[in-house]
Amino acid sequence: MSKEFDPEQIAEADAPDGFRPLPFAEGFIEGNGPIFVRPDSVEPVFGVRVVPRMCNPLGVIHGGMVATLLDMALPLTLRFQEESSGAPPRFLLTVNLTVDFLAGARIGSWLEARSRVLRQTGRMAFIDGTLSTREEGLVARGSGVFRLGKAVPEVPPLVIADDQAGS
């Protein structure tokens, strides 16, 4: 059974309509979330509310957190696409991650990640994406190369159907 995010963290994030918390909150993701997802027709949109624990002393999101969000959103985009096509979820190992920092997101900003799979081979996936806010615009862009791992059993789906969601 997968652990879920604390309801207080979810309420604090005040996610826009259509966003749901990812259905797992374990390990590294637990300490860096909650992360939300809004499924779109082709590619999902991931989001987080920038809170103080994600920021540097100037109240701007830390560069390490920006890289972390891209390192989560990029492979989760491929996982979403595979899940939507009925394929079993796989773990994707980061081989390379490149991030360009373009602006800072301030405490309270809603930060969205959009990604696209550029190419997929039998063992690797090449994915790029952006992070942006309504206030600051484009915050970062990134690209990653991910090694396709084996199927991961017993992993909750990224998007839970409306009739199964708790909200």
d(CA 5, CA 20): 11
The 10s digit of each residue's pLDDT in 57-101 is 999 999 999 999 999 999 999 988 888 888 888 889 999 999 999
Residue 136: CATH number of its domain: 3.10.129.10
In a domain, 161, yes or no: no
Three-state secondary structure of 87-121: CCCEEEEEEEEEEEECCCCECCCEEEEEEEEEEEC
In a domain, 157, yes or no: no
The 10s digit of each residue's pLDDT in 92-114 is 999 999 999 999 999 999 999 99
d(CA 23, CA 78): 17
In a domain, 159, yes or no: no
d(CA 106, CA 110): 9
Total domain count, the chain: 1
What would the two tokens of residue 105 be? 């997101």
In a domain, 35, yes or no: yes
Q: Which pLDDT score is estimated for 32?
A: 73
In a domain, 156, yes or no: no
Q: Which pLDDT score is estimated for 90?
A: 85
d(CA 70, CA 81): 17
User: Which residues are CB-neighbours of 148 under 8 A, at least 6 positions away?
Assistant: 90, 92, 120, 122, 123, 124, 125
Domain span at 139: 7-151
d(CA 130, CA 164): 30
